[in-house]
Structure 1
Amino acid sequence: MFTRILVPLDGSELAEKVLPFTCYLAEKFQATLVLFHVVEKDAPKEIHGQHHLRHVDEARIYLNKVAENPACAGITIVQDVHEVQEEGVAQTIRDHAEELKTDLIVLCAHGNGGLRDVFFGSIAQQVIREGRIPVVFIRPETIKVLPINPIRHILLPLDGSKSHEDSIPIAATLAEKFHAKINLLTVVPTIETSPVRAALISRVSPRAAKLSLDISAQQAEKYLAAISEDLSDDGIAVSWKVLRGDVLAGLTETISVENIDLVVIATHGHSAIDVTWEGSLTPRFLPNAQIPVILLRGN
Structure 2
Amino acid sequence: MGHTPKRAIPLWSLHPQGEYHDHLTPDLAPQSPISAERSGFFDPTHSKRFSWETPPIPRERFLWHSLLQSLFLGIPPPLPRAAIAATMGAKATPEGGPMMYHKMLVPLDGSELAEFALPYAEELAGKLGTEIILAEAVNSPKEALDTALQVYLRGVADATSGNVMKHVPEPGAPEIRVRTEILVGDPAEAILNYVEERGIDLIVMATHGRTGIRRWALGSVATKIATAADCPVVLIRAKGAREDVREKGAIRRILVPLDGTAASEKILPHAQELVTHFKAEVTFFQAIQPLYNAVATTDGIVYVPYTPEEMKSFVTSAENYLTRVSAPFRELGVPVQQKVTLGDPAEAIIRFADEIGADLVAMATHGRTGVYRWMIGSVADKVLHAGNTPLFMVRTKAEAPA
TM-score tier, shorter chain, comes to 0.7 to 0.9
Corresponding residue for 1:178?
278
Equivalent residue in structure 1 for 2:356, among 253, 258, 267: 258
Percentage identity across aligned positions? 28
Whether the aligned pair in 2 keeps the contact of 1:183 and 1:239 (CA below 8 Å) is: yes
Whether the aligned pair in 2 keeps the contact of 1:156 and 1:264 (CA below 8 Å) is: yes
Whether the aligned pair in 1 keeps the contact of 2:293 and 2:305 (CA below 8 Å) is: no
Q: CA RMSD in A?
A: 3.2
CA distance in 2, matches of 1:204, 1:280: 30
The offset of 1:101, in angstroms, is: 2.1
Corresponding residue for 2:111?
12
Whether the aligned pair in 2 keeps the contact of 1:4 and 1:32 (CA below 8 Å) is: yes
- Give 5+ residue unaligned stretches, structure 1: 43-52, 192-197
Corresponding residue for 1:280?
382
Distance 1:269 1:68, change over 3 A: closer
* Superposition TM-score, scaled by structure 2 size: 0.59
> Where do residues 28-107 of structure 1 align in structure 2 (5 Å cutoff)?
28-41=127-140, 54-58=143-147, 59-69=149-159, 70-73=162-165, 75-84=176-185, 88-107=186-205
Corresponding residue for 1:206?
303
Distance 1:259 1:133, change over 3 A: same
CA distance in 2, matches of 1:264, 1:253: 15
Whether the aligned pair in 2 keeps the contact of 1:109 and 1:118 (CA below 8 Å) is: yes
Q: Which has the larger radius of gyration?
A: 2
CA distance in 1, matches of 2:242, 2:281: 22
Corresponding residue for 1:149?
248
CA distance in 1, matches of 2:236, 2:260: 27
Instruction: Say which SS state the counterpart of residue 158 (structure 2) adopts.
Output: coil
CA distance in 2, matches of 1:174, 1:201: 47
- Greater helix proportion: 1
The offset of 1:244, in angstroms, is: 1.3
CA distance in 1, matches of 2:367, 2:198: 29
* Superposition TM-score, scaled by structure 1 size: 0.77
Identify which of structures 1 and 2 has the higher relative contact order when contacts are C-alpha pairs closer than 8 Å and 6+ apart.
1
CA distance in 1, matches of 2:119, 2:293: 44
CA distance in 1, matches of 2:295, 2:382: 21
Could you give the per-residue CA deviations for residues 163-217 of structure 1, whole angstroms, max 9, x where no partner exists? 00000110011001011121000011225xxxxxx79999946358568755432
CA distance in 1, matches of 2:349, 2:259: 12
Aligned residues: 268
CA distance in 1, matches of 2:293, 2:273: 37
Whether the aligned pair in 1 keeps the contact of 2:207 and 2:235 (CA below 8 Å) is: yes
Could you give the per-residue CA deviations for residues 230-287 of structure 1, whole angstroms, max 9, x where no partner exists? 32234443111101123344323432443322110111179xxx965145323322xx
The offset of 1:111, in angstroms, is: 5.0
